[in-house]
Structures are given as C-alpha cells and as structure tokens.
Amino acid sequence: MKNKLYFKLKNKKVQEAAFSAILKEQKHIGYYALPEQNISPILTYAKSIPDDIENVAVIGIGGSSLGAKAVYEFIKPTKKLKRKLYFFESTDPLNITTLLSKLNLQKTHFLVISKSGTTIETFSIYKYIYSLKNDSKSYTFITDPGSPLEKYALDFGASVLHLPDNVGGRFSVLSTVGLVPLALSGIDIQALLYGANTLKKSFFGAGYMQDTLLKKAVFYAQNHAQYHINCIFAYSETLKYFCEWYVQLWGESLGKKQRHSAFNVGLTPIGLIGPKDQHSFLQLLMEGTRDKSVTFIKIEDFQDDIVIPDISLPHLESLDSLNNLPFSKLINMQCDSVIKALLEEEIPLDSISISKVNEGNIGALMYYYELLTSLVGELIDVNTYDQPGVEAGKIILKKKLNSLS
C-alpha cells in the first residue's frame, strides 16, 4: 500500500517522542505482536471442523465481529471461499430471525465470542440459538482463560479457544477472534498476517511507513481541536465493513478524558463509500464547517475488466465519452476528481492506494490503522485501550436487568 500526505508537517521532536512511547507500549499491549504469531494451532483447529459444514456463524458484538466481517466482505467478491460467514451482532429480533432463515442449522457451526464471557448481547442471542440447537459439537467458544464462559463451555463439552493476553476487542482482528472464522471460511490467514507484518516492519524498521504514520498522527493530534472529525472516503464497496471497523476502533479508542486532565477530547470517525457518498456527504466537506480531515482509499487493480459498452443513446450523446471505459478506471477517476476538488478548498487530506483486493493488503491496512490509533492516542494524552464510557452503559443495563428478577 502507498500513502500520500497532502499536508506538510515539520515537528521532528514530537514525532520522535510518539515513536518512543509506542516502542515502550509494545511490552504490555498485545496487538503489536500478533502479525508474528504462530498460527499452527488455529489451522489445526480449522481442520477439525467437518467438511459438510457449509456455514460459520459468529455470535459476538463490536470487536468480536467487526474485524472478521471487514476482512471477509473485502475478500469475498474476488475469491471462491470454502464456507459462508454470518454475523449475529445485534439484539434486533428482525435481524436475528432473518439471519436464521438463511441457515441450515445442521450444516452450521457457531462461534461464540466474548472476552469477558458475560457479554449480555452475545448471550441473549446464544440462548435463543441454543434453544434451537443444543448440540455441543456445533459450538466453539472464544474467551479469556478462566472466564465464566470457559467454565460453561467445558461443562457443556464444547471446544474452547483463548484470546491472547492484553489484546482488547477492537484490536483483536489478527488474533483468534478474527483468524478463526476467517480460516474456517477459507481465507488465507497466513497472507493476512504477512501483510500486517510487512507494514509493521516498515514502521518499526525506519521504513517508508514510519515517517508517513508519524507525520499523519502528529498532524491529527496537533489539529484535533479544529479538525475533530476524521473521514475515510473509500472508493470500493468491498471496504464498506472496513469503514465500520474503523469507526469502532477510532471512536472507542480516542474519545476519552485526557490522562493528565479532566478535558474531553477525541476525533469523530465517519466512514464514507465513493462514488455513492460523493453525491451527498461531499457537499458538507466542500462547503460545510472546516472541521474535517479526509483519507481517501482506492484500489489500483479491481481484477475485473468489465467495460461500459460502446452505445450511443438518443439525446444523451454528450455521455458517449464513457464508451469503452473500464468501470475500474471510472471509479478511480471519480476519486481523483474529488481529491482535486477538496485540495482546492484546502481541506487536509491524504490518500491510500491498495494494489489489489487480497488478504495481504487488507492485513496491512488494518494494522496501519491500529498503529495510527495508538500514535494519536498517545499524542492527545488518552488511554487508548480502555472504554469507560462503554462500560458505564453496560453497568446501567445490568442494573435494569437485575431489577426485573
């Protein structure tokens, strides 16, 4: 992947301080080491699932599902996969019923994912599905060692897999949380990790990505009061769920009170898909309040060569310039045109180019955003890895539920 910054920044001391902090953080934050992990146990586990299983259903919410879903939906259009993945990530009864209507329960394996082992949304859904199918061989549970869920799973006689130490949910896509469902679907998880590790080496080894990521993080941090809305404008439908993953990662990590003050800070994430959203949200970017930075993501090779037919339509001859134009070229021309328009308005932006749709590139892109999140969190002085605001809502919900009993 290539990343071009359209803003200039010269603050070497701040960049060096941020890099030093990240080096120290590696010792106790687990996600940094995930690209270099041994995945043999995961691959062995994947082989244990019978070949007649056609579907894998993930029961989880937030970080327990968004990462795997982002990778799966990115890869799915360009690769024939072994199994379909489904994601139960909402207590919406219509959503649950609709998803179940698509599944043959006898040919579905369920992955129940909860780090704490007591996630209310996850277990409300699990209880319902368990009432329909209570065969222990149909379930695998992914949780922390010693959690209530592990104890339940062992009593139930189901398989249990563990999360690695010190890996929070929203940073867990490259752990068992993401790798297990992806491996079961037939996605090349070794290539996924290779892409992430290539990015990691480029950052920590003083490569191209170190300078780029540090400059970008410092710009966001130093301008977070003015440009407090951060938009991704992704020019491919395959990146729709990547945008959802980014929104959770960015919002839950950076929207905090500062560690050394009571001041509330954060950069609001927005995920956009081009060219669709350039016919709506672009107006706000162009002429709205100057409080937004934008990152464009585009794919150089879509591996699909469909072309606009050489057809002239009565009264629409002005559109004949489209004739014989590949759609892949058109969508990137649209992207480049929007970039130029925003640059003329002096909107701070950068662009990321992905060579093609494959596991290595999405692995690199996700690790890039995890590193960027950690850097910005350090620079705006927040604890990137907790989520007290989310926990506050959970506490209130538990009180409400207890009052019913």
Amino acid at the residue 207 = G
Is 68 within 8 Å of 177 (Cβ atoms)? yes
Q: Is 260 a catalytic residue?
A: no
* Catalytically annotated residue among 244, 252, 359, 378: 252
Kindly give the residue spans of alpha helices, DSSP state H, lying in 76-170. 93-101, 120-132, 148-156
Whole-angstrom distance, CA of residue 402 vs CA of residue 146: 24
Name the catalytic one among 279, 315, 340, 400.
279
Catalytic residue flag (residue 279)? yes
On whether the CB atoms of residues 86 and 55 are closer than 8 A, the answer is: yes
Q: 367: burial class by Cβ within 10 Å (0-12, 13-18, 19+)?
A: buried
**Integer Cα distance of 308 and 311 in angstroms:** 8
Enter the DSSP assignment of 307: B
CB distance 57 to 86 below 8 Å = yes
* Residue whose tokens read 């996969």: 81
Helix (H, G, I), strand (E, B) or coil at 110: strand
Mapping DSSP to helix (H, G, I), strand (E, B) and coil, where does residue 265 land?
Answer: strand
User: At 319, which helix (H) or strand (E)?
Assistant: none
Is 80 among the catalytic positions? no
Side-chain-side CA neighbours of residue 23 (13 Å): 12
Contact 357, 74 (CB under 8 A): yes
- Supply the residues annotated as catalytic: 252, 279, 394
